[in-house]
A and B are shown apart, each in its own frame.
Chain A
Amino acid sequence: METSPHIGGGAHPTPKTYVIIAALLAIITAIEVYIFYIEALKDVLIPLFIVLSMVKFAMVAMFYMHLKFDERLFSVFFVGGLLLATAVILALMTLFALLPDRPSSGTAAESQSGHGETVVDTHGETTPSDTAHTDASPDVPTLEIGPVADSLMFNSETLTVSSGAEVVLRFTNSATTQQHNWVLVQDGAKDEIAMAGLTAGAANDWVPEDTRIIAQTRLIAPGESGDVSFTAPSAGTYQFVCTFPGHGATMFGSFQVNP
């Protein structure tokens, strides 16, 4: 067996071993990317990823960083530092979980003056709100919604209105860090519209041009609120979704219009 001498420890393995390790690392990475797209594994994905990446980590440390062939003391230093870092991160996460959320106080008052929302008519054309719209907005909205604290979810899964009703929906963003919007779309369209919102960009409040959009609020900053007025469409089921990047997967709900 061909080995190379190494200072401070045993012998390095042959180039063949290195190539095998490299191939194994590539295979594990391919598996990770593949299972990322398997819907059935969704719930066990995170533990699976952690295990697979730990295997890769250990392989690189043992062979490429030759800890396996070095003095034991080096491994102790390496693993010791790793454990210390893990402990610090866990302690930080515990702190975050234990301390109460403190919403920023300054922004809530500003939101009261910010009622000039973008209003969308039932044909899906965006029109900036004018004085007529602002006057039409009553102080008491027909529907109220917001996020669940800082999680990416709406606090109502279902909203119900009657067809033809003049609806005023107020979105109150109680989150401390996340921006959100509320976009009413045709049933089944929420994922496509959320995806398209990515390319629409922040300048358009992450809302794309799409005829399946019935109504939308502007992008609402943490601590602020915004209204949208629209006429309830024909009876049926619709969807609402937050199109801020990454939110649409969990932040959506069903909009029922009764006859």
Chain B
Amino acid sequence: MMVMAYSNIAKGNVKNFRIWILCTAILGATFLGFQIFEFRDFAVHSGLTPRTNLFGSSFFTLTGFHGAHVTVGVIWLVSLFGYSFKGDLTREGGLSVDLAALYWHFVDIVWIVIFTVIYLIGVSAG
């Protein structure tokens, strides 16, 4: 999604850029929604909080900070969507979008590690 947004702004296609950047932001916001649901479910129904045990502390610290970074990313993406109406983005050849994309994909890469360590290995190792 993000790369499609970048690819379009680099070609000067602002209309398609707006669609893709919004899709990216919406998916990011969806992730945050799931995360809020998951946190609530763990804390209220399963009694897993950062104070419960080592897994609880690690889980909430790692995923919580990740969620904060995603939030920053979503704000960044929505801001870019707003800027696109001023026409600044096309003139500079999409550098701002590329920088946002680098941030966004780094957050993505971190999730690859968190997902593996917490959800796959952490849970299976019990």
Contact = CB atoms under 8 A, between A and B. Distances in A.
B109 A250 contact: no
A60 B6 CA distance: 15
Contacts of A199: 45-46
Contacts of B54: 177-178
Interface in A78-105: none
Contacts of B98: 6-7
A178 B55 CA distance: 10
Contact of B125 (A46, A56, A57): A46
Contacts of A18: 3-4, 7
A5 interface: yes
A65 B109 contact: yes
Interface string A44-65: 0110011011001100110111
A133 interface: no
A213 to B, nearest CB: 19
Main secondary structure, interface of B, reads helix
A50 B116 contact: yes
A53 B116 contact: yes
B105 A64 contact: yes
Contacts of A53: 112-113, 115-116, 120
Given A53-B113, A201-B47, A247-B126, A46 B53 contact: no
Interface string A166-195: 000000000001110000000000000000
A246 interface: yes
Contacts of B77: none
Nearest to B103: A65
Contacts of B109: 57, 60-61, 65
Nearest to A64: B105
B19 to A, nearest CB: 13
B33 interface: no
A4 B10 contact: yes
User: Which of A14, A15, A244 has the most chain B CB atoms closer than 10 A to its own CB?
Assistant: A15
Given A4-B7, A198-B46, 9 more contacts: A5-B10, A18-B3, A32-B116, A46-B121, A56-B112, A60-B112, A64-B105, A202-B52, A245-B55
26 contacts: A4-B10, A5-B10, A15-B3, A15-B4, A18-B7, A29-B115, A32-B116, A42-B124, A46-B125, A49-B116, A50-B121, A53-B112, A53-B113, A60-B108, A60-B112, A64-B2, A64-B3, A64-B101, A64-B105, A201-B45, A201-B46, A244-B53, A245-B46, A245-B52, A246-B126, A249-B126
